[in-house]
Amino acid sequence: MNILIKNSTSFQLTEKIKNLINQIVVQALKEEKYPLNVEISLSFVDNEEIRKINKEYRNIDKETDVLSFPLLEFEEDNESDDNEFSLEGLEEYINSETGDLMLGDIIISVDKAKEQAMEYGHSIEREIGFLISHSMFHLMGYDHMNEEEEKEMFEKQEKVLNLVGLKR
């Protein structure tokens, strides 16, 4: 597993947070029966930077907490089942140097994460954990465009967070 972390802020990425990131990624992958040999780009930015990215890619001129950019393409009616994940047909998403499946990019606004942690009355670790868990499921094809999708995705996120000790 290769998590490429870029921190463009003054926020201190402690070993505790780095370990938490790894645990969340592993648990999310296991939840979906994905291989653990994946590559993810994870960037920590400020509100100004995420606002620029949000405007450029989503045409929304405001800051947000997290952006997810999946590389894999998923079918609309791709109902997940209990079969093992298959790399068949995904050759173009395999890093030829490492053999890792490239899932995509996660961009987190540290400013927003701090605001939301205070607003919800929990730690910055819990908030960052939530945002990473949320984004991992986006990278694996989940969305929350309707109530049913949202319920399923949020249940999976909470399961992952509970497994790594970030209970509500």
Res 78 pLDDT > 60: no
Res 76 pLDDT > 90: no
**What confidence tens digit (pLDDT) does each residue in 114-150 have?**
999 999 999 999 999 999 999 999 999 998 888 998 8
**How far is 6 from 141, CA to CA, in rounded Å?**
24
pTM for this entry: 0.91
Res 84 pLDDT > 80: no
Q: What is the distance, to the nearest Å, from the Cα of residue 162 to the centroid of all Cα atoms in its chain?
A: 16
Which domains does the chain carry? 2-163 (3.40.390.30)
> Each residue of 114-144: b (16+ CB within 10 Å) or e?
eebbeeeebeebbbbbbbbbbbbbbbbebee
**How far is 95 from 101, CA to CA, in rounded Å?**
6
End-to-end CA separation in angstroms for the chain: 28
